Structure 1
Amino acid sequence: MPRLIILAVTLLSAFSLIAGPKATWLSDSHDFGAFDEDLSTVTCQFRAVNTGDEPLVILSARANCGCTTPRFSKEPVAPGDTAVITVGYNAVGRPGKFSKKVLVTTNASSGAKTTLYISGTVIGTSNTLRGRYPVDRGSMKLRSDMIAFGTVEKPAVATDYIEAYNASRDTIRPRVVRRPQFVDINIMPPAVPPGETFVIAGLFATPKCDRWDVVADTLSLAAGTDTVDIALTAIVREHFTPGAKAPQIRLDPATLDLGRVGHAARLRRQLTVSNAGNAPLIIRQVSCLDPAVSVTVKRDAVVKPGKTLKIPVDIDLARAGNSAMLNAMIVIIANDPVVPRSVVRVVGELTE
């Protein structure tokens, strides 16, 4: 008799474990595929059969984004009947691929929480694409035509990216046509289906760059017959160790004043660079964008503490154009931690 009692108790315990409502979902994901943004809101339905022995109630359904809206009834679902959740996705202003989640909570005795997934690709309208991807190059639409790496200290690297969109009806494979050696480019994914986005990621490697201060170059991409040029910019600076011995740059004169000079004059002036610090001063780069002024100095020229360096400055005013004034700027990049970038102006009044 005791054995029969134990068996009965065991069976009752097992029955109690499976008693209550139970939600068996027929599917937990839905892919809308590719569709036009003009459809506005698209919907799908998820169904759950109550395979338990008590009424099933959907308590809540919460999406992870305001663009996704679940709708359901809180009425009890009898055993054997089906509960339905309708999920809508608002595609307006959201071109490209999407993936959203809806967390559903029921009164099921086990597995009370279930996550439902929706996904798809929105083919954007021309107005939406124009606002979100203003750079239009046929099949490729870009958010920007510039990758700006910001300020980078040698020998560090910097990264930045641009988001882009395939506006064609075919899969495109964007490729690099031209890039500077100091910038590596990665395009992900390599093959971009219609209506989907891709990323153009750049890595600026300062050890591969022999330029300083403002560095500007161009990246050229192509997809089929469509091409796009992307500006690459960075400001390359020296890395300084705090507390270490350092050079101090001194310039004489601070301004090269030519006074009144004729338009056809050719002049030579001299700029003196002194090192008032206690470590070698390295002249990384000297440049002038004005075509009338040229400066010649050996790259990475070294000025020892207490020493000077004479830099010749040649001025050809015939290349100054029709301007009545010369106001050029010589930029000197050095390893002075306090003044890494110095400016000397070349000014003059041009006469006939």
Structure 2
Amino acid sequence: MARRLIWTVVGTLGLMGGIAGTARAAEWADALFAESSHNFGSVPRGAKVKHDFMLTNRLNEPITILNLRASCGCTSGRTTASIVQPGQTAVVEAHMDTRNFVGQKSTVLFVTLITAGGHEAEVRLGVTSNILSDVVLNPGSIDFGTVTRGQTPSQTLTVDRIDAPGWKFEKMISASRVINAQLVETGRQGGSVSYLLTVSLKPGAPAGLVRDEIRLIGNDPQMPSVPVAVTAMIRGDLSASPSVLSMGEVASASGAQGRFIVRASKPFTIKSVEGAGEGFSITPADKSAKPMHIVTVNFKPEEATARGSLQRTFRVHTDLPGEGPLDLKATLHVAP
């Protein structure tokens, strides 16, 4: 099933190191997550695995997910929302790339949260994998990149295992409604087994971000399934420029302002824009229907607690039929 997510750039941080200027996790922040760790179990080398950590805002004020950082370059994170209102839930995805490791591997995703009242805390989410050396995925996932809606690209992935003459896959499982998949055994000789997985996008897949998963179910109880991530950005009629809005250096209370141009081939209206908060605001959009709109982003440093290099994602909802939300990314640097 296609899911629309907000991408957050994840840097590298020493596992035992701290984050400058960020408070250690407070009990209120830890309690927002249903769990604080996940074990992927045994996975093939090369696999890209993910886990959803559920965050529920049980406070009486909004929470902003300020930043994600990882203890290892093999780990990255994403969120489904940057601001979580009271009573609402967001997903923090933890991804692990196993290409460069064998054996037990544990990493930490550091999640920085801040309340509307200015209370800041850091939550540590741990993920662990047992990366097998005798099973290899190549490539580690299916990534179609950016495609135009209606296109049906196809990609393949191989699964190879050695010293397991009786091993086999028995079925495939996926909740996705936008992909087709076929699995074929291509070799079985001298204890080695090979499979070829072919995946394609359906012609009716809607515009938006695809982040799905196929699970290959096998007969080995030590590795009952092999996860295969499937990603794509299906571009519809809606587009924006620039692709990333650089608002420059902010050194005074006057703040900064920037503009996106949002276009389509036919008239449309902007119903809402998400992402305001922590000093960022959106000038109300023109409610008339037209093929081009200006989305103005404003930043006031006195209304923000964070300093340094900041990145914000805004989500534009329109009345175009069949079009998903359009994500706009803005960056700036706030002087201390």
Question: Which range, TM-score by smaller chain?
Answer: 0.3 to 0.5
TM-score normalised to structure 1 length:
0.38
Q: Greater helix share, 1 or 2? A: 1
Relative CO higher for 1 or 2, CA cutoff 8 Å, sep ≥ 6?
Answer: 2
TM-score normalised to structure 2 length:
0.39
Report which of the two structures shows the higher radius of gyration computed on alpha carbons: 1
